[in-house]
Structure 1
Amino acid sequence: MKPLFLHHLKWLTPYIQGERTFSLTHEHFPINLASLPFYQSLGEQLKTIEGKLVVFDGGEDPKRMGLLKKSENGLVELARAKGERIYLNLTQLQTVHVP
């Protein structure tokens, strides 16, 4: 078994399988978490969403939003709206949102 390395993990909240957070009904929270693949690193996870729009770290920095072009060798390549390429250090990213 490969060891699981989590960089900068701040909080992990385990839930009972099938339990909905905040007592939300299925209509409010229609995601089936068991159907989402989970990879051992954020880099591997990002490879599955290459070519999609992403927002890193809540969108506080506009340079952390764009089209995810590539994730490899610890770097994330984003294409901004006007074609500018931005490179981010993977270990400095905290969250990712795919709108």
Structure 2
Amino acid sequence: MKGLNQFLNTDVEVVISGDTRFVGTLIDIGQDIFVIFDGCNYLYIPLLHLHQMNKAKIMTSTEKPFLINPEDPMIEAETQAFSYRNTLNKVKGQFIEVYVTGGRSIHGYVTNVLNDYIVFFSPVFKILFISMHHLKWFTPYSTEQTPYTLDNSQLPVVPSKVPLVRNFEEQIKKNIGELVIFDMGEVPEKVGLLKDVSNNIIELINASGEPVIWKLNHLKTMHLP
């Protein structure tokens, strides 16, 4: 079966989790990730979130294929074993945009790649723990760009000094007894005092003092206020 390879170097329409849609040129396919170029950005998308891919339909005679610069360093970078984890490790310390949940993406850089989550520094949210199962796509900035046009002095690329463990659930456990924010606070009930973490179940105490239970599998990010 040809699978995705039949679309290499052609313009495609892609649908991923959350009914997010992209149109661009499929330029590479890895073990568990693929890359499309949408005319402006290289979008790295884990295969886990791919719902549909088909050849892009040219709607008018004025539409042209996306033009890719073969000397672009982002293309040259994929000469080694190309996988989701390897790519995240390659972009550590490089400013990127990632999309996880809700109607907004997050800008910053990866500081650590663990077994099933990454540590991400954002100038807005500071240190975020992001489940690798829920990261929908990411795109690197050009080397000249920084988030919000901040100076590099305001965005020091240094590894997180927070003590880390390899597993997302175990990392969350380290914050029992503290106020935590899941999924960037998009739902008020995802903000509260972390009471317990056990067998993939999270217990929070909300602002009213009531317990709220969440299934860890469905939580995408965590950070501290």
Please confirm whether the aligned pair reaches a TM-score higher than 0.5, indicating the same fold.
yes
User: 1:49 Cα deviation (Å)?
Assistant: 1.1
Paired residue for 1:45?
171
Name the CA shift for 1:70/1:31 in 2 (closer, same or farther; >3 Å): farther
Choose 1 or 2 for highest CA Rg.
Answer: 2
**Unpaired stretches in structure 2, ≥5 consecutive residues:** 1-114, 117-131
Match of 1:10 among 136, 157, 168: 136
**CA–CA separation in structure 2 for the residues paired with 1:63 and 1:32:** 32
Q: Which runs of 5+ in 1 are unaligned?
A: 15-20
Does residue 85 of the first structure (1) align with residue 208 of the second (2)? no
Q: TM-score, normalised by structure 2?
A: 0.34
Q: 1:72 aligns with which of 198, 202, 207?
A: 198
Residue 170 (structure 2) pairs with residue 63 (structure 1): no
- Find the counterpart in structure 1 of residue 88 from structure 2: none
Q: Which has the higher strand share?
A: 2
> For the structure 1 residues 50 and 11, does the alpha-carbon distance in structure 2 shift closer, same or farther, using more than 3 Å as the test?
farther
Shift of 1:76: 0.7
CA RMSD of aligned residues (A): 2.7
Residues 46/7 of structure 1: CA separation in 2 closer, same or farther (3 Å cut): same
Instruction: Tell me whether 1:24 sits opposite 2:152 in the alignment.
Output: yes
State the alpha-carbon separation in 1 of the partners of residues 192 and 135 from structure 2.
24
State the Cα distance separating 1:7 from its structure 2 match. 2.8
Q: Which secondary structure does the structure 1 equivalent of 2:195 belong to?
A: strand
Q: Deviations over 1:17-75 (max 9, x none)?
A: xxxx93531xx346852422222221111111111111111211111110011111101
The aligned counterpart of 1:33 is 159
Per the alignment, do residues 97 and 34 of structure 1 end up closer, same or farther by CA in structure 2, a change over 3 Å counting? closer
After TM superposition, what 4+ stretches of structure 1 lie above 6 angstroms from structure 2? Answer: none
Q: 1:69 to 1:59 in 2, by over 3 A?
A: same
Q: Distance in 1 between matches of 2:156 and 2:135?
A: 26
Which amino acid in the other structure matches residue 52 of structure 1? E
Number of aligned pairs? 89
Aligned-residue sequence identity (percent) comes to 40
Using CA pairs below 8 Å that are at least 6 residues apart, which structure has the higher relative contact order? Answer: 1
Aligned residue in 2 for 1:18: none
